[in-house]
Amino acid sequence: MLRFAQTLDRQLGAALERAFPEAAAAAIAAGRRLDPQLAAASKPEFGDFQANGALALAKSLKQAPRQIATALLAELEADPAFAALCLPPQIAGPGFLNLTLRPEVLAAELRRRLGDARLGVPLVEGQSAAARPPVIVDFSSPNIAKEMHVGHLRSTIIGDALARVLEFRGHPVLRLNHVGDWGTQFGMLITHLKQVAPEALSTADAVDLGDLVAFYRQAKQRFDADEVFQATAREEVVKLQSGDPVSRRAWQLLCDQSRREFEQIYGRLDIRLSERGESFYNPYLAAVVADLEAAGLLVVDAGAKCVFLEGMQGKDGNPLPVIVQKSDGGFNYATTDLAAIRYRFAAPPAGDGASWVIYVTDAGQAHHFAGVFQVARRAGWIPEGARVEHVPFGLVQGDDGKKLKTRSGDTVRLKDLLDEAVERCEADLRRRLAEEERQEDESFITQVATTVGLAAVKYADLSTNRITNYQFSFDRMLALQGNTAPYLLYAVVRIAGIARKGGDLGGGAAAAFPDLLQYSEPQEWTLVRELLKLDTVIAEVEQELLPNRLCSYLFELSQVFNRFYDQVPVLKAEPAARASRLALCRLTADTLKLGLGLLGIATLERM
């Protein structure tokens, strides 16, 4: 519907200018336009679109809204291009204009999409993808020497979905994994390992990653309780930062071991990332401080170098500081994040030359990023017109509404969570096969259980508004009914079954369908209109960075399709109706596959 909305907006705007030329000229002189305020109709009985501008213009034009709407209607009726697109408009209420697209226009657009691999979703306008500056999506970001846990789930899945949507729209996307691979924690861990497991610092995979996590906890406890250990650990950090070969060798082994573990998780989830950890920015930290000092933004407070924020106060009413260099000369997360922004927006070869940087982290970091973004803007590191955004998300909770933990109180490992999803799915599949007395080989069972189990985990997360917390429930996410991945996957499988029963779905080509599609049933037109919303939904996700909007659309589409298929004969219909209805089935399957693919979810032909 996006293309129709853009065309109608232009036609309505031109009609307003013709109806009220003096007001239009005044608006143009002021750098504005007479806005028809076109929007999707709030209810099906109001048509496809509503123009609500008459109410907003009433005061400036000094006319009643219905009088304005009547004048606008007269201009539209005299426009042949509008008449070819829409049925005669209707004035409703105080002055709303209801617009309904002609059935033949809708059918022609549906037919056009059958031959379009992008299903009507346009590429972003402007430069070619090769010439366009990159969009950076910073997501996942686990810590070295720690296992990925459920807390990394949302950043990884949300970030991947956003990257996929932006790539599909034609943006060159740089997917960055800002791993925690630098800082005090390595001083603690290396110091502790030298005493308890020195082989881990000289031999690859000498200890299991799980043991490495336990060693890290022990090191943290010693660092907090033992001043001598703390001092030794800080000395180790200095050695690491200064390039001591023994410390660097140990650090590299620890990073490589963790990286291999991360890649196993990313492989299972079909996640693509380019690693660029905190260590990458270490050479740029001193320049960050120097630039801020040269810009007159730095203030020394209690020996620390800070930038005091504008419009952000603490409980005492004083401006909050962003510390960029501690009193002992060390740097912190804020310094690294500032160096990252500075590098990402800097023109090549000194940086990435990005036009838009998106950070996908938990909502608890909102304050941190608000401060970092302000400092970066005041320092002039974010170019005019460039975008930098924090995409926050809530917690993953258990059924008790508290942060999801194991029974022992530990954070749930992401590997264990994914394993359990697949295992539960396999058990449910085997039970259903037994009830149906169906015989399937083990490869089929493994494929379905893996695909559905991982899809369920992803979709349960993405279908929730990312800003809110959500309660993790295997029973809900694996259900075949409701807004779940299995429900959507079953809709795709159901359409594949139509082809197995002899329905010609075109085999990937559009030639199997008639040039003129014909529909007469209300269920058909409801499905046609739902299918044509895809381009609008993708544009909304791109703009608002909310993947749940795509999930809601795919769920609604599945419901509309199932009602159509249950109430309108397809394979038993007359030949002309059968071909047109098969076109609806084909486009529904293509739309579901495309939409789920943008969420990082694979589909199945049978399940």
pLDDT in tens, 296-308: 999 999 999 999 9
CATH topology of domain 479-607: Isoleucyl-tRNA Synthetase; Domain 1 (1.10.730)
Closest CA to 157 of 426, 416, 455, 386: 455
Kindly tell me if the per-residue pLDDT of 504 is higher than 90. Answer: no
The total of other beta-carbon atoms located within 10 Å of residue 317's CB is 6
Q: What's residue 401's pLDDT?
A: 82
Q: What's residue 464's pLDDT?
A: 94
Closest CA to 309 of 365, 363, 377: 377
Kindly tell me if the per-residue pLDDT of 510 is higher than 90. Answer: no
Q: What's residue 209's pLDDT?
A: 67
The total of other beta-carbon atoms located within 10 Å of residue 582's CB is 22
From the candidate CATH numbers 3.90.105.10, 3.40.50.620, 3.50.30.50, 3.40.50.720, the one assigned to the domain spanning 135-177+279-396: 3.40.50.620
At 168, is the pLDDT very low, low, confident or very high (cuts 50, 70, 90)? very high
At 409, is the pLDDT very low, low, confident or very high (cuts 50, 70, 90)? low
Does the fold of domain 135-177+279-396 match that of domain 2-101?
A: no
CATH topology of domain 2-101: Gyrase A; domain 2 (3.30.1360)
404 touches 150 (CB < 8 A)? yes
Q: What's residue 508's pLDDT?
A: 65
Task: Give rounded-to-5 percent helix, strand, coil for the chain.
Answer: 55, 10, 30
Kindly tell me if the per-residue pLDDT of 406 is higher than 70. Answer: no
Is pTM beyond 0.85? Reply is yes
The percentage of residues in the chain with a pLDDT greater than 90, rounded to a whole number, is: 72
- Going from N- to C-terminal start, the domains of the chain cover 2-101, 135-177+279-396, 184-275, 405-476, 479-607
Q: What's residue 408's pLDDT?
A: 66
Kindly tell me if the per-residue pLDDT of 369 is higher than 90. Answer: yes
Kindly tell me if the per-residue pLDDT of 66 is higher than 70. Answer: yes
What's the rounded mean pLDDT across residues 186-197?
89
Q: Which residues contact 488 (CB under 8 A, 6 or more apart)?
A: 459, 554, 555, 558, 592, 596
What's the rounded mean pLDDT across residues 270-298?
95
What's the rounded mean pLDDT across residues 571-589?
93
At 185, is the pLDDT very low, low, confident or very high (cuts 50, 70, 90)? confident
Instruction: For the chain, count helices (H), then strands (E).
Output: 22, 14
Structure tokens at 239: 């050695």
Starting from the edge strand earliest in sequence, which strands make up the sheet with 90-92, in order?
38-40, 49-51, 96-99, 90-92
Which residue carries 């501008």 as its tokens? 53
Q: Average pLDDT, whole number, for the chain?
A: 92
What's the rounded mean pLDDT across residues 447-472?
95
144 touches 252 (CB < 8 A)? no
What is the rounded CA–CA span in Å between residue 581 and residue 319? 64
What's the rounded mean pLDDT across residues 63-79?
93
